[in-house]
Amino acid sequence: MPTKIIMDTDPGIDDAAAITIALNHPDFDLELITTVAGNVTVDKTTLNALKLTRFFNSTVPVAGGAPQPLIKPFEDAVRVHGVSGMPGYDFPTDLAKPLPETAVEALRDHIMAAEEPITLVPTGAYTNIALLFKTYPEVKAHIKEIIAMGGTLGKGNMTSAAEFNVFTDPHAAEIMYQAGVPITMVGLDVTMKALLTPATMQKLPTLGRTGTMLHALFNHYGDGDKTGIPMHDVNTLFYLLHPEAFTTQKMWIDVQTDGPANGETVGDIRGAYHDGKTNATVCVDIDARAFNAWFLDTVAAIG
């Protein structure tokens, strides 16, 4: 049976690739897309999600969410994703409307109505998730797990210590990691290893309409270098389908919420500070070759 998922996201170019796969892969049943301010403002992330559902003629509903972090001032990633968040491709303009309810209300409604616990896949700031848990704590018992893109045990990409999604709203990340819901952290420790290689990029335009669209977006992506480009958010879906391609370690994750380490995810790798308790499964290594092969096969199957 396909895995029932909800994506909470901020498209964004790598988010667009993740949404593309979630909408089309036969092993996923994407029930809802909620959007948040992150790579660009929430009006743009919502518009971008609607562009993708229209591109694939999908009826998956989209709900707009938090326009800013809980406390910290908002900082976007326009320098990486462009002013629109998804430059480089002319999407259809006859778009559906987002749901009238907010992301938090839509998340509550879908989670509580589901016949079985559902998997949340947040690939942007965790503001909507934190607001959901604070407003409707009863939903936590109906969530199977959270597969979250974000965080790092090593070098950050916003500061020396902080990854972008956590840095954007560290207070929301703190709430999510303290919620008691099973969490897998898919952070920079693996996403900066699973780069789409130049050879993979060259093949994309030969893989039909979807490959052409993604290739156009990737050519406007301000991340990566000559060795390849990171598909941060896509790694969450790869993990769900192929956990055997990852090396993981259970540990306690604390989130720093102020000072020069604001947004840092601190892993208790020695188990020294939380009486042996853990609150996350942390991805620490990945089979990058398998990721590239899976990505190409998946895009080719969409056509």
Distance CA 295, CA 202 (A): 13
Q: Which two structure tokens, joined as six digits, stand for 4?
A: 């029932």
In the annotation, is 232 catalytic?
yes
Can you say whether the dihedral through the CA atoms of 252, 161, 67, 69 is positive or negative?
positive
Q: In one letter, which amino acid is 177?
A: Y
Which residue's entry shows tokens 């006859």? 94
Distance CA 195, CA 66 (A): 30
Q: Which of 81, 110, 171, 232 is catalytic?
A: 232
**Cβ atoms of 72 and 171 closer than 8 Å:** yes
**Cβ atoms of 241 and 219 closer than 8 Å:** no
Q: Which two structure tokens, joined as six digits, stand for 29?
A: 């049943």
Residues 6+ apart with CB under 8 A from 20: 52, 56, 210, 213, 214, 299, 302
Distance CA 15, CA 26 (A): 19
Distance CA 28, CA 193 (A): 24
DSSP 8-class letter at 202: H
Give the residue numbers annotated as catalytic, written as ranges: 232
